[in-house]
A and B are shown apart, each in its own frame.
Chain A
Amino acid sequence: MGLFSESVDVICTDQGQPLEVTWKGTSYKVTGEPNRWFERRKWWAEETRAPIGSGAGLVDHEIWRVQLENTITLDVVRHLGSGRWRLLRIHDAAPARAVEPDEAA
């Protein structure tokens, strides 16, 4: 397991839930129900501006934990401004287990 910041392509349902992930040139189907939560960002260190009306995505970002074809578990995050997806973490191979957040971090 490790921390990455690598671009991935994600195809979502209308509700915004990931269906398919393209990683290193390969497309994978998302299997099982993906988990979703929000995490804080250290926006005061990462951003140069925070004007009124910046909107969503300054303080937190949305993280999806997806299991790809029952083998790989990834945490991916979507950047709200650009809509681009990044790979945040790669977890051990299946079976996916409940990961305590402090472990994951």
Chain B
Amino acid sequence: MASNDDVAILGVGMHPWGKWGRDFTEYGMVAARAALADAGVAWTDVGHVAGAETIRNGYPGFVAGSTFAQKLGWTGVPVSSSYAACASGAMALQTARANILAGFCDVALVIGADTTPKGFFAPVGGERRDDPDWQRFHLMGATNPVYFALAARRRMDLWGATSADFAAVKVKNARHGLANPNARYRKEVALDDVLTSPIVSDPLRLLDICATSDGAAAIVVASADFARRHVGSLDGVVRVRGVSTATPTYPQTFLELPDFATDSTAVVTPPELGFKASVVHHAYDQAGVGPDDIDLAEVYDLSTAMELDWYEHLGLCEVGGAEELLRSGATTIGGRVPVNASGGLASFGEAIPAQALAQVCELTWQLRGQATGRQVDGARVGVTANQGLFGHGSSVVVGV
């Protein structure tokens, strides 16, 4: 049922993920043009451009909203640029949504695009001894995969997860992504391929950890009124029903990238829901849905093990039950609640400012029944979940 608090997703578009090292705006323009065409909206009718920032591409990346407004041709359109690390896309979507719901514009274009360096993400250059990011690399080599490994190890030691469970996530997602034209990797992966790939940060192996990619995603969102006028009716129009950009509640007790330490529980009792679960529940609450209403989910599988963590944060199973849920086939296409039908980061690699938007693009195609080769039958409500560094939550509930 449509609510006046819903904003409509009129169009989505992506540039395929890959590794070419070209100007990120080239990818973003492809995605923007595709989203506008999908929406049937002229660029000159866009009332706000919300850019998700990339910090590795000089100033055009820092002012992403303005960069794309200029690329598309200055129209005087107001812009915003959002940075929330991996959650930047959700923050940009939220900014667009807020502008629409406030009545400041009818239609907004949200864009995220990136070009990424090879290998490990490293701190921005120079000896910046006061920068926590510099400190974690310098003092202990705490790369991003180290944090993924810490979380994975807890699954093993606390809940009995095995390397084969982690590998099974990769096998599933690789299969899901086979037919996705925007995926970077479209190749079956066998359990043994994962289990014999080199260890990067024990217990995680190379094929447990997502690559870094180039790519772009864009979304055209509009007010319910505009959408009704534009399309004729909201029937079958995918709508944004909730967007969570929650931060942690003190004390945050799970050691998260890029921190040296958790908060202290010495004098304040931790909240009932941990940070990642709270991120998702804020989105559920806005949308008025719960885990039982979810038909499919796109989650941030930075590592295979992290996808399992998300099952629990999403409430798809009890804490400690994710391996069982995976083994049951429930999260495979055809199962009760497919996760990462797009192929996930396992098939895409991560293009940071684009990724949270790519999740929403996928759900939109799924809810429209346009996800050829990976369609989740009868999907009506979907949820995305991811988390950026520095306490940036990101979860979007869409429905049709």
Q: Do A and B come from one complex?
A: no
- B residues with CB within 8 A of A: none
Interface residue ranges, A against B (CB under 8 Å): none
